[in-house]
Amino acid sequence: MQTLHVDADTWMHRLTPRLKLGALAVLGIVLFLIDSIPLLAVAVGVGALLYFRCGMPAGEALRRLRPMLFSMAVVALFSLIFNPFHAAVAAILRLVALVLFAGAVTATTSMAAFIDEITALATPLERMGLLKAADIGLAVGLVVRFVPEIIDRYRAIREAHEARGIKIRIATTLVPLIILTLRDADNIAAAIDARGIRRH
């Protein structure tokens, strides 16, 4: 499996995962309390500065953002159609800022540290008998690790369509993508069970 973590030595890499996740949560709340377009534009600029200073080449940083451009374009289109112009622009800027901040946190936090932090945060819920903290950490970690895999699967399907001269449609790409993803999920679940992780 691939990882979104960038092996570098920046000041963001040296921050603790708890601090970065806490700051991301606070920023998310603050962004939704702000309606000023200039302030949101500043937030986008700060997010872009942090994201592009994570130790990645500019081309790699832009490539990682490419899969999210479609989602952001859809949100922007619907916001402009159904909301006043000011509200639509504010919503778009919030989304872009959140994507950039989240991308910076993901790029500067290793998967092991991320899972450990999620497990530690879920420990109080385990004491209450609501869930198993280790299972939550593992599940969240697998979801994050699956993101680049799904993106690569989509690229492979799209390239196969182009090589055969088939027009790319949602129906012809989404179905094989779901099937391949579910197959990978079954293989990972079998590997987890074979190692007895969930029984621990």
Average pLDDT of 122-126? 82
Torsion of CA 76, 80, 81, 84, to 10 degrees: 140
Distance CA 99, CA 47 (A): 8
User: Cα 7 from chain centroid?
Assistant: 18
What pTM does this model have? 0.69
Using pLDDT thresholds of 50, 70 and 90, give the confidence band for residue 56. confident
Distances (CA, A) of 14 to 46, 112, 132, 187: 19, 15, 29, 34
- For 46-113, list the strands marked E by DSSP: none
Higher pLDDT, 5 or 102: 102
Distance CA 68, CA 60 (A): 14
User: Tell me, what amino acid is at 9?
Assistant: D
Question: According to the model, what pLDDT value does residue 197 have?
Answer: 62
Higher pLDDT, 83 or 144: 83
**Lookup: tokens for 3:** 């990882």
Helix (H, G, I), strand (E, B) or coil at 9: coil
Question: According to the model, what pLDDT value does residue 41 have?
Answer: 94
Average pLDDT of 128-142? 77
Average pLDDT of 43-60? 90
Using pLDDT thresholds of 50, 70 and 90, give the confidence band for residue 136. confident
Average pLDDT, rounded, for the chain:
82
